[in-house]
Amino acid sequence: MDDRSSIEIFLNHCAIERGLAKNTLSSYRRDLEKFLNYLNQNQKKISSITPSDVAAFLHALREAKLNESSIARNAVALRSLFAFLAKESGGESIAKEILVPRSAKRLPKALSIDQIAKLINSCADDLSGIRDRAILELLYATGARVSEIIALNRSDISQNNQEGVEAITIKVRGKGGKERLVPVGSYARLALDQYLTRSRPIFAKNLKEEALFLNEKRGTRLSRQSAWQIVTDAAKRSGLDEAISPHGFRHSFATHLLDGGADIRVVQELLGHASVTTTQIYTLVTIDKLRESYASAHPRSK
């Protein structure tokens, strides 16, 4: 079996047996393609690779000015590949000898509440703008990833009445197919109602289409790229110079909840994090804010 076939079998295993997300699989494929090119250039085969060869490959990535987080991701992909191949063949694995570079923990960039409001309020009142507002409101109201928002179906919205107040929850499908229920606040609920009554019936070319958010021209499910463009366009209209991404809404959701006193375990559940350790990075953001406030306000802080 040649090296490319080995990699394809591994990727199929990741997709079918491990159920890895589509974006993760795409990253693995890109990283392993780099490794395959490196092997071809150096006339090497996967079957004869040593930990020193892997270290040389990672050094080559560093020489090519790849950032440390990307290099670490390449190392993780290779560890997984060699662990899988060893298990399949019954041979020795070099996976444990592949060292994953430790990248510096970067604090997520959270937008201010005013910036979030500017982005949302920049949407027009036409049919597309009503849809775009609903998407931005949901990104901020739920902390969902953009891929999770565009994957929503109409049946994922649940309405119920709590003590005379209409409440909405949405079922979000996260990484690994895990589902979670997330409540939706009044602003997002109103924007969603507007979209469902005014825009979606016009966009829908097929009454059986289950996708919640539709492309206005084709009437099919909105793509991830289109959702990104909606956020990018909103940032331009709002005059926000910094790079704004859909993930910025997720960071802001978590940071603002913790700033407001929400329990970290609740935030973990809402974000769909498997471990609270992942959620704890947001506490570093709030601690930094406390330090800044202390330094600027306390007479003996300096």
| C-alpha closest to that of 129 among 194, 189, 183 | 194
Q: Which pLDDT score, from 0 to 100, does residue 297 have?
A: 66
Band (pLDDT 50/70/90 cuts) for residue 103 is low
Q: Is 175 a catalytic residue?
A: yes
Is it the case that residue 283 has pLDDT exceeding 60? yes
Q: Which pLDDT score, from 0 to 100, does residue 278 have?
A: 79
Q: Which pLDDT score, from 0 to 100, does residue 292 have?
A: 65
Q: Which of 73, 145, 221, 256 is catalytic?
A: 145
Q: Which of 44, 62, 118, 247 is catalytic?
A: 247
Band (pLDDT 50/70/90 cuts) for residue 148 is very high
| DSSP classification of residue 176 | G
Q: Are 68 and 101 in contact (CB under 8 A)?
A: yes
Is it the case that residue 107 has pLDDT exceeding 70? no
Strands (E), the chain: 157-162, 165-173, 179-184
User: How far is CA 133 from each of CA 10, 169, 194, 240, 288, rounded to the nearest angstrom?
Assistant: 41, 18, 10, 17, 31
| Paired tokens of 188 | 């997002």
pTM of the model: 0.65
| C-alpha closest to that of 129 among 240, 234, 204 | 234
Name the region of 224 (left: φ>0; alpha: ψ -120 to 50; beta: rest): alpha
| Paired tokens of 232 | 């990018």
Band (pLDDT 50/70/90 cuts) for residue 33 is very high
How much is the mean pLDDT over the chain?
88
CA 249 to chain CA mean position, Å: 11
Lowest-confidence pick of 13-17, 207-211, 294-298:
294-298
Q: Is 256 a catalytic residue?
A: no
Beta bridge partners of 183: 169
Q: What are the respective helix, strand and coil percentages of the chain, to the nearest 5?
A: 60, 10, 30
Q: Which of 221, 250, 251, 256 is catalytic?
A: 250
Q: Is 13 a catalytic residue?
A: no
Band (pLDDT 50/70/90 cuts) for residue 271 is very high
Q: Is 208 a catalytic residue?
A: no
Beta bridge partners of 184: 168
Highest mean pLDDT among 85-99, 126-140, 253-267, 271-285: 126-140
Q: Which of 62, 175, 198, 237 is catalytic?
A: 175
Is it the case that residue 141 has pLDDT exceeding 90? yes
Q: Is 247 a catalytic residue?
A: yes
Q: Which pLDDT score, from 0 to 100, does residue 291 have?
A: 66
Q: Is 59 a catalytic residue?
A: no
